[in-house]
Amino acid sequence: MKNLKISIVFAAAVFASASCGGNIENKPAENKTAEAAKTPSQPSEGNPEARDRGAVMKDLYTANCALCHKEDGTGGKMTKDGKTLNVEDLTSEKIKKMSDEKIRGYIENGVPNEGMPAFKDKLAERDIAMLVRYVRVLQSPEAGATNSSDPTGSR
């Protein structure tokens, strides 16, 4: 009698598992998708996900940073709310030498005495991380050639 109960419970568990979408055929595809999501993709022309992520990073930068730091990240003098600011050049050697964590700290906490607002209450952590990554993109030699007004791409 005890073995019959165990068999019935086991059969019910197998049936429930199969009827709830737990069949084995679906598992490899789900695992592949999960593995692909964990593996960061490298930016390339043939990778639409990387292009989309690049567009998102650029849009975040344009919406939150470009007013002061300019589209190309070079910053410079500007007036905001009647105050003249000397906005940091994000492509400078000084910023290139900073750790990602330090740049992230400036974005999160701002630099109030220099006019840089804090974004920790305005942007999600993921968005701040994307901004740090975009600053690194702006610092790349390819970005300098693209952003330069000189048609030869030299700065």
Least-confidence region, from 18-32, 65-79, 85-99, 123-137? 18-32
For 43-86, write each residue's pLDDT tens digit. 445 666 767 888 999 999 999 999 999 999 999 999 988 999 99
The two structure tokens encoding residue 86: 């000397």
Q: What are the sequence ranges of the domains in the chain?
A: 48-147
Distance, CA of 144 to CA of 126 (rounded, Å): 25
pTM over 0.85: no
Task: Give me the residue label for tokens 């068999």.
Answer: 7
* Choices 3.40.228.10, 3.40.50.150, 1.10.760.10, 3.40.250.10: CATH for 48-147: 1.10.760.10
Contacts of residues 80-89 at CB distance under 8 Å and 24 or more positions apart, as own/partner, are 80/115, 83/115, 85/114, 85/115, 86/114, 87/115, 88/114, 88/116
